[in-house]
């Protein structure tokens, strides 16, 4: 019987299908990560997902874009999702973005700039609406 998910036993992470990943060797996934189905990882620029990250269904992690003047030229910038971050359903993280520790990205948001640690961002483009209480998270 086929399983509709991938369990990374060594890393204790869960990745649910379907998953579309370009250049999988450019993706690094930490421990205790959960990635729900429908995730798209355009990873030519590199994607790093730290420990304890949750990524909801239909999230897009896009590290590449075409040059505006030479459309055949691909420009790549890495994405880094730091420890404990939570990416809501249908959100898009654009090239060069770092999502901070224990930050939350609202469902459907388009993240075009770095997200500070403990921030909650929503919208298109995503903007900080408030900060979570730092003391309520592990201090490591």
Q: What would the two tokens of residue 139 be? A: 């201090």
Which residue, among 125, 74, 80, 69, has the nearest Cα to 103 in the 3D structure? 80
- Stated as kind and residue range, the H or E segment containing 82 is none
Indicate which residues carry an active-site annotation.
66
What is the C-alpha to C-alpha distance for residues 6 and 17, in angstroms, rounded to an integer? 7
The count of other CB atoms within 10 Å of the CB of residue 64 is 15
Beta strands in 3-78 (DSSP E): 5-8, 13-16, 19-22, 27-29, 34-35, 39-42, 47-49, 54-55, 60-62, 64-66, 74-76
Could you tell me the two tokens for 51? 């420990």
């Amino acid at each position: 019987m086929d399983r509709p998910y991938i369990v990374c036993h060594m890393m204790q992470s869960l990745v649910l299908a379907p998953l579309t990943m370009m250049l999988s060797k450019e993706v690094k996934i930490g421990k205790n990560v959960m990635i729900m189905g429908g995730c798209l990882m355009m990873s030519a620029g590199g994607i790093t997902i730290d420990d304890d990250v949750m990524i909801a269904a239909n999230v897009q992690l896009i590290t590449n874009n075409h040059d505006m003047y030479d459309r055949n030229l691909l420009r790549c910038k890495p994405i880094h999702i730091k420890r404990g971050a939570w990416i809501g359903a249908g959100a898009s993280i654009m090239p060069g973005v770092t999502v901070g520790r224990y930050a939350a990205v609202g469902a459907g948001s388009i993240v075009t700039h770095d997200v500070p640690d403990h921030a909650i961002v929503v919208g298109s483009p995503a903007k900080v609406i408030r900060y979570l209480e730092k003391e309520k998270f592990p201090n490591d």
